[in-house]
Homo-oligomer: A and B are copies of this chain.
Amino acid sequence: MTIISEDEELVTFINVFTVSPDNQQRLIDLLDRATDLAVRHANGFVSAALHRSLDGTKVTMYAQWQSMEAYQAMRGDPAATPYLIEALAIATFEPGAYSVARTFAPLAANR
């Protein structure tokens, strides 16, 4: 479970992979394995959520880290490398590092 809050001092990565629909499930499996077997073991990892686009053309990873330094240290971890090389052979990758500017709740009347 991931909690997005403007009060937390975290670095958020929203990494969008673009893929052909016939490779979407394979890409999800590769990113799942990389995250499960390597990324989530790293120091400074807070949480991640893998998203499947409804049209089949994208897979987006939303991930929270305690710091940019912790994320960059993980990127050098060879345990994740084979999965990520395979993922980048079938997808293009648009990375983004963010802070949370604001969160919005519904009006109570609509709950």
Contacts and interface: CB of A to CB of B under 8 A. Distances in A.
B110 A36 contact: no
Contacts of A94: 16
Interface residues of A, number: 50
Contacts of A107: 40-41
A contacts with B: majority SS: strand
Given A1-B3, A53-B96, A53-B97, A103 B43 contact: no
Contact of A60 (B28, B54, B98): B98
A32 B1 contact: no
Nearest to A11: B54
A72 interface: no
